[in-house]
């Protein structure tokens, strides 16, 4: 009886170890954006509805998928977010139903995930970037702030939403 119990414990240990080895995206770096997982109601700074967002993990926990539905009829979008182990950074690829796209890169710093685009030129020839920051608040909400920064100093807010879990 004792030998059966020992054999069973050893078998279970091997199974658990193999399962952990098979999860290639279960490192702390891969979990850095997990605070965003959930079904969220999103509001603007004035409290008006901004939309709904569903964030889940897919592809054996390697992709954090976002499915956005705006409170304004007719606007939706999806992003795939992933930790790029080669570049040691998070990346987001956003595509919406209006043909818009965005490619962001960056990392988590403290209670914030900060991602930004590569520098580009606006129609006036001025350099600009988009920077999106997700901040985890103590009460479990998440603030998403999207800024467009022109000439390194001029900041325009493109989106400021507060996420509350449903």
Spell out the SS3 assignment of 114-150.
EEECCCEECCCCCEEEEEEEEEECCCCCEEEEEEEEE
pLDDT of residue 11: 52
Taking residue 137's Cβ as centre, other Cβ atoms within 10 Å add up to 12
User: What confidence tier does 15 reach under pLDDT thresholds 50, 70, 90?
Assistant: low
**Is 7's pLDDT higher than 80?**
no
Q: Is the pLDDT of residue 161 over 60?
A: yes
Give the closest residue to 49 by CA, choosing from 166, 151, 165, 162: 162
Least-confidence region, from 3-17, 66-80, 119-133, 134-148? 3-17
Please, which pLDDT band fits residue 138 given cuts at 50, 70 and 90? Answer: very high
* pLDDT of the residue at 124: 96
* Reported confidence tier of residue 22, pLDDT bands at 50, 70, 90: confident
Dump pLDDT digits (tens) for 57-103. Answer: 999 999 999 999 999 999 999 999 999 999 999 999 999 999 999 99
Q: How many CA atoms does the CB half-sphere of 156 hold within 13 Å?
A: 7
Can you tell me the mean pLDDT for 19-32? 87
The enclosing H or E element of 156 equals: strand 154-165
Question: Does residue 50 surpass a pLDDT of 60?
Answer: yes
pTM, to two decimals: 0.86
- Number of Cβ within a 10 Å radius of residue 101: 11
The residues, any chain, with a CB within 8 Å of residue 105's CB and separated by 6 or more, are 84, 87, 89, 90, 91, 92, 115, 116, 117, 118
């Amino acid at each position: 009886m004792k030998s059966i119990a020992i054999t069973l414990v050893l078998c279970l240990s091997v199974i658990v170890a193999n399962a952990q080895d098979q999860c290639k995206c279960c490192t702390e770096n891969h979990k850095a954006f997990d605070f965003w997982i959930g079904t969220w109601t999103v509001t603007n700074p004035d409290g008006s509805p901004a939309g709904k967002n569903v964030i889940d993990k897919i592809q054996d926990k390697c992709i954090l998928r976002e499915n956005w539905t705006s409170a304004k009829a007719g606007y939706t979008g999806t992003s795939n977010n992933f930790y790029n182990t080669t570049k040691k950074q998070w990346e987001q690829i956003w595509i919406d139903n209006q043909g818009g796209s965005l490619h962001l890169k960056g990392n988590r710093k403290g209670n914030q995930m900060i991602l930004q685009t590569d520098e580009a030129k606006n129609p006036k020839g001025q350099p600009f970037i988009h920077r999106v920051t997700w901040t985890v608040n103590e009460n479990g909400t998440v603030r998403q702030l999207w800024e467009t920064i022109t000439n390194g100093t001029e900041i325009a807010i493109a989106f400021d939403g507060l996420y509350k879990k449903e």
